[in-house]
Structure 1
Amino acid sequence: MGQILSEPVTTKESAYCQNSDMMVGSSCMQGWRISMEDAHTHILSLSEDPQASFFGVYDGHGGAKIAQYAGKHLHKFVVKQPKYTEGKYEKALKQAFLDIDTAMLNDKSLKDEFSGSTAIVCLLKANQLYVANVGDSRAIACVNGKVDVLSIDHKPSNEAELKRITAAGGWVEFNRVNGNLALSRALGDFLLKRNEEKMPEEQVITGWAFQFKARFKYFESNLFFIFISLEGNGSYIVI
């Protein structure tokens, strides 16, 4: 996880899309890493729910497979939740994170996969923005000229995170879980999710997401942009 290149790869891959309601741009760069480990998603209209939009950034570590899988499939896990059908979108997001983690663990193509990924996603539905994340990728909005923070970092130095980690049999050294991982929640990282006496949300590393309902109405606010980014700005989406 700590390998880096002698010189960064600074070539950027950028994309742009829009509809009558919004404009979306994304860009990604490999940077110092041995290979590109990040993924992102921007869907202006979900095929499963054309009235909803979904955006996400996934910062992989130890490999790209978990980030890529999440980038392709997490939105599908969200919309198929019973809570989504009931209009309880925050709960649907939270459960979708756990469900995709379980699906990846049981996926034969990911057998013995050791990589992991942060995830920061935004669901726009019925003029309301919902955000969910694990790890230290971030989302912010600029509303009425002021920054509105839409996510929190999951770090092992946090008292509540540290308590869960140690209760599950892990430890923290130099602000890293088991001396290695610099974040306390992630998708994947299945070596740190093997305590059979603990629920998924109680593991050393958990995919149990923080979820947030924005205070502003998307189409009724003086909203300038929403910025979704991973640590180090290797990949980002601007809405």
Structure 2
Amino acid sequence: MGAFLDKPKMEKHNTHGEGNGLRYGLSSMQGWRVEMEDAHTAVIGLPYSLSMWSFFAVYDGHAGSQVARYCCEHLLEHITSNPDFRGGCSGGGDSINAEPSVESVKCGIRTGFLQIDEHMRAISERKHGADRSGSTAVGVMISPHHFYFINCGDSRALLSRKGRVHFFTQDHKPSNPLEKERIQNAGGSVMIQRVNGSLAVSRALGDFDYKCVHGKGPTEQLVSPEPEVYEIERAEAEDEFVVLACDGIWDVMANEELCDFVRSRLEVTEDLERVCNEIVDTCLYKGSRDNMSVVLICFPGAPKINPEAVKREAELDKYLQNREGGACKKHMTQHIPAEPGDKGKRQYRQSTDGGEGRMVTKVILKFKSNENKLTFAGVFECVYCGTPGGTSDGKCPPICLC
């Protein structure tokens, strides 16, 4: 079936941790893709006397997973060990133990990206066959006083502060005027919004087939490994959370929509793995066909458990348990939301059919807090054949083509 499977692989990889005044959770799923090409990094406490610093990143590989996997293991070391990162250290003459300046960190991150890209090229050439894989990279380095958001490609990071999206990185697409100008100056073209009609991102690590224009430096090639680095001062009482995710998430969820979803879930659970799993599941059912990875990093200002929200959650769970018996045992029925992005939407997975691990029902519900009832907003249809007309109690359409 080409690059896609006949049915999605829904097993998830999870991890979580806490320290340095933050908590994080992660979820990744292969989904419909033939291969899992995503990778991630999560480190609390950095080397070189930066124990109060943390680093998180998501790598979205393409044409293979080699570059993404190598970066998840080695990019941080390339950043923190290069002289540029330590070049403007403050706090005395011992640069190894002193904290680097803001400009040194930004310069060191850029240098680390260029170094690891050249290092991977050399490894590939020594193996007598260029590795054709590549990877985007999005990350955040967190110091006691600053966020350093890092982006190379079309994965994305965002910061939620005071109940709204305060910042998000810009995707590197070939259609962007500055990116397009560089591509054309290197002798390439942008067709169907792709580099030479093929690659959908204009910056990435790896992708060495697009980095061989003679006379051009590494940042002047068709595809550049240079990251954009954004520095933002932390606001301890106002910072809520940071989300890092690949385009398998952002293709189907807008920035504000995802932030609203995260805030609503943090009011009912402190389990960040669970929240990340629900994000991934939601994106799968919203139509994402890509690998999906998301990292959620929460700070003391994040939403807290809300007793009223917990109560509503329990009512929803009870309601779904009661209606499970009437759900179709032959077909899955899914709820198609009529109001995309509406706050308060919930996604559920009900029981499996005959213990075979097959999803029976997925429902997105909207709970109106000003009414003591649940309301559906949308049309039900059979997942297998698409026949519309299912009922709100989970039963299949009267006439089903499958």
Query: TM-score normalised by the shorter chain: which range applies?
Result: over 0.9
The alpha carbon displacement at 1:109 in A equals: 5.6
Which residue of the other structure, out of 198, 209, 212, is the alignment partner of 1:194?
212
Q: Which runs of 5+ in 1 are unaligned?
A: none
Contact 1:150 1:212 in 2 (8 A): no
Q: Is the Cα contact below 8 Å between 2:189 and 2:196 reproduced in 1? A: yes
CA distance in 1, matches of 2:129, 2:116: 15
- How far apart in 1 are the matches of 2:181 and 2:45? 40
Q: CA deviation at 1:46?
A: 1.7
Aligned equivalent of 1:217: 234
CA distance in 1, matches of 2:60, 2:193: 19
Query: What is the match of residue 176 of structure 1?
Result: 194
What is residue 122 of structure 1 aligned with on the other side?
140
Paired residue secondary structure (2:247) = coil
CA shift digits 1:145-176 (9 cap, x unpaired): 11022311000111111110011111111001
Q: Does the aligned pair in 2 maintain the 1:62–1:116 contact within 8 Å? A: yes
Aligned to 1:47: 47
Question: Matched residues in 2 for 1:185 and 1:20: separation?
Answer: 32
* Distance in 2 between residues matched to 1:97 and 1:121, nearest whole Å: 12
**1:222–1:173 distance in 2 versus 1, CA, 3 Å:** same
The two structures, once aligned, show a CA RMSD in angstroms of: 1.5
Tell whether 2:243 aligns with 1:227. yes
Larger radius of gyration: 2
The structure 1 residue matched to 2:117, chosen from 101, 123, 136, is 101
| Unpaired runs of at least 5, structure 2 | 89-99, 250-291, 298-402
Q: Provide the C-alpha distance between the structure 2 equivalents of 1:178 and 1:99, rounded to a whole number of angstroms.
A: 26
CA offsets, 1:56-94, max 9 Å, x none?
000000000000001111110110122221221111111
User: Within 2, Cα distance between the matches of 1:20 and 1:123?
Assistant: 12
- 1:23-55, CA deviations, whole angstroms, 9 ceiling, x for partnerless residues? 010111111111110000000112343232110
C-alpha distance in 2 between matches for 1:111 and 1:74? 22
Contact 1:143 1:221 in 2 (8 A): no
In the alignment, the residues of structure 1 paired with residue 64 and residue 217 of structure 2 have an alpha-carbon distance, to the nearest angstrom, of 26
1:79 equivalent in structure 2: 80
Give, in angstroms, the shift of residue 124 of structure 1.
1.0
Q: Relative to total residues, which structure has the larger strand share, 1 or 2? A: 1
- Check whether the contact 2:20–2:53 (CA below 8 A) recurs between aligned residues: no
Q: In 2, Cα distance between the equivalents of 1:57 and 1:46?
A: 17
Partner residue, 2:357: none
- Number of residue pairs aligned between Structure 1 and Structure 2: 236
Match for residue 63 of structure 2? Answer: 62
Higher relative contact order (CA 8 A, sep 6+): 1
The letter of the residue matching 1:127 is H
In terms of mean alpha carbon deviation, does 229-238 or 80-89 score higher? Answer: 80-89
Say whether 1:16 aligns with 2:16: yes
Query: 2:187 & 2:128 partners in 1: Cα distance?
Result: 25
The 1-side partners of 2:25 and 2:128 are apart by 30
Aligned to 1:45, the other structure's residue is in SS state strand
Counterpart of 1:96, as a letter, is G
Whether the 8 Å contact between 1:105 and 1:111 is mirrored in structure 2 is no
2:161 to 139, 143, 146: 143
Matches within 5 A, 1:147-162: 147-162=165-180
Query: 1:210 Cα deviation (Å)?
Result: 0.8
CA 1:156–1:135: 2 relative to 1, 3 Å:
same
- What TM-score does the superposition give when structure 2 sets the normalisation length? 0.57
Tell me the TM-score normalized by structure 1: 0.94
Please report how far the alpha carbon of residue 190 of structure 1 lies from its aligned counterpart in structure 2 after TM superposition. Answer: 0.1
